[in-house]
Amino acid sequence: MTPARPIRVFSHPAMLEHRPGSGHPESPERVRVMLAALRDSPIAHRLEFVAAPAAERPAVERVHARSYLEHLERLASAGGGILDADTVLDGHDVAIRGVAWSGASAIARVEVSIDRGPWQDARLVGERRRHSWQWWELITHLDGTCARSLRVRATDLAGRTQPEHPEPNRLGYGNNAIQEIIVHTS
């Protein structure tokens, strides 16, 4: 008898930060309850929890009109607003973007830490190529107006991750350690 194939459950940590507005049936709390119920269910042994990959723009345009996506982009750049009767695009959802590079191989992953909190996986944008800049982005939720620290680290396909501190050398060259910057949110 062939063993049963696993049932894949796709989710993403960003789903726990999305707040579509009061009255909307989806909420971070509902997602938490559903995931916990699945993990405790009688079929939990057959479930495979998978981080949902971010969709590239062409894939999103196959299911949403370009005019709708442009409307979302205008709302987001204006700081948020009401999308429809029960959905709000929160003005505190922000995109943090940048580029990463490695001299050894293509970038495998980029992680972002906000206010020295846990590392969050950023989405790689575009094709991975050796000796090329790799664009990345993290869509996250920031509450309040204040100064925030951002730290970013990259790991390449050779398994090399940026170190916390620079390796000492006589002339100070080759500092590829994690840098910290302060940004102000409003």
> Tens digit of pLDDT for each residue in 79-89?
666 666 556 66
Candidate from 66-70, 109-113, 161-165 with smallest mean pLDDT: 66-70
Q: Is the four-CA dihedral 10, 84, 97, 112 of positive or negative sign?
A: negative
pTM for the full predicted model: 0.54
- State pLDDT tens for residues 126-165: 888 888 899 988 877 776 667 788 999 999 999 999 999 8
pLDDT of amino acid 110: 95
Question: What's the CA gap between 93 and 141, in Å, rounded?
Answer: 4
**104 Cβ contact list (under 8 Å, min separation 6):** 156, 158, 160
The Cα–Cα gap between 168 and 80 comes to 45
> Which positions ≥6 away from 43 have C-beta within 8 Å?
7
User: Which residues are registered as beta bridge partners of 139?
Assistant: 95
- What does the alpha-carbon distance between residue 3 and residue 48 come to, in Å, rounded to a whole number? 14
Structure token digits, residue 71: 């409307």
Please give the residue that has the higher pLDDT: either 21 or 121. Answer: 121
* Domains of the chain with bracketed CATH: 1-53 (no CATH), 55-91 (no CATH), 93-184 (2.60.40.650)
Nearest to 79 by CA among 90, 68, 67: 90
Rg (CA), the chain: 20
- Judged against a pLDDT cut of 60, whether residue 171 lies above it is answered with yes
In terms of pLDDT, which residue wins out, 42 or 172? 42
Q: Which of these, 100, 76, 103, 77, lies nearest to 90 by C-alpha position?
A: 76
DSSP string, 136-178: EEEEEE--SSSEEEEEEEEEETTS-B--SSPPP-TT-----PP
pLDDT tens digit sequence for 94-106? 778 899 999 889 9
Dihedral pair phi/psi, residue 105, rounded to 5°: -165, 180
